Amino acid sequence: MEHCTVPWILSNPTVGSREFALLKKDGMGAGAKAFASWLGRPVPHALFRQPPQPDFGPLSIRWYWNPYQPGLIDTTNNLSLVVIVQYGLFKIAFTGDLEAAGWKGLLLNPNLRRDIAATKILVASHHGRESGCCTELFDLVRPEIVIISDDQRQYDSQDTDDWYRQRCLGIPFTNNPFERRYVMTTRKDGSMQTDVAIDGRWLLTPVTVTDWPRNSSGTSSGLGLSGLAGFDSSGGIATGLGLSGLAGFGSGLAG
């Protein structure tokens, strides 16, 4: 926010500055304060109309959320977005910090149930924590692999690899074709790259990612995608032509 222009931010549209302050009544860290500041900015009159959708090239992007409801759905985790990215016959789902109660609310939406079907890669919600495990989700989808993006093991609630493994089809491991993987984690496998063909074939490979160099002002240099925006009352969709890739999706309220 201090050093970059971010023209698009995709977030749960039912959480404004007032709602966010209530969610964070026990205090905010630096990141939450920056987001609260963005939420509180005046909105130009033109932006009250449906904004033009960004161009995601041959990718189709759909996103879903639970509406903020005090006393029912009123935690930041369960107000996370589920973002489903499709290229040809391939789908990957980014599921934010959703916990089981949030999943059960979203699974009432027939559009989400339709869109999440045939997902090839599921990025586990809430960093793979036990609280994000939802049996009902896997009544709809049996991904080929689950990716857990998490820090080093600190809590027993992180030991969910076996739970997810039982609910995946598995894929041959790139580095060893005799090994079949059902779960990959950033703890063990590091960063990963997915190469996808429009006919649905895909390859997931661990890669070494080098940080961008720092410039004299202390900020990272380089180019990246800015993010997403635009939504309607039941979920969002964006499609288009001419974009070569996607930025990573964070967890929590915004993607």
pTM over cut 0.85? no
CB 68 within 8 A of CB 100: no
* pLDDT tens per residue across span 76-103: 999 999 999 999 999 999 999 999 999 9
What is the rounded CA–CA span in Å between residue 138 and residue 164? 9
Report the pLDDT value the prediction gives residue 56, as an integer from 0 to 100: 85
Is the model more confident about 155 or about 207? 207
Domain range annotation of the chain = 17-209+220-238
* pLDDT tens per residue across span 110-160: 999 999 999 999 999 999 999 999 999 999 999 999 999 987 777 666 788
Report the pLDDT value the prediction gives residue 208, as an integer from 0 to 100: 87
* Average pLDDT for the chain: 80
**Predicted confidence (pLDDT) at residue 235 exceeds the cutoff of 80:** no
Q: Is 135 exposed, middle or buried (0-12, 13-18, 19+ CB in 10 A)?
A: exposed
**Predicted confidence (pLDDT) at residue 242 exceeds the cutoff of 90:** no
Report the pLDDT value the prediction gives residue 43, as an integer from 0 to 100: 66
CB 196 within 8 A of CB 88: yes
- Among 55-59, 178-182, 245-249, which stretch is predicted with the lowest mean pLDDT? 245-249
Q: Give the residue-averaged pLDDT of 169-175.
A: 85
CA neighbor of 39 nearest in space, from 61, 65, 11: 11
Report the pLDDT value the prediction gives residue 228, as an integer from 0 to 100: 30
CB 12 within 8 A of CB 251: no
Report the pLDDT value the prediction gives residue 9, as an integer from 0 to 100: 80
CA neighbor of 251 nearest in space, from 95, 119, 132: 95
* pLDDT tens per residue across span 14-60: 998 899 999 998 999 998 998 888 888 876 554 445 556 778 889 99
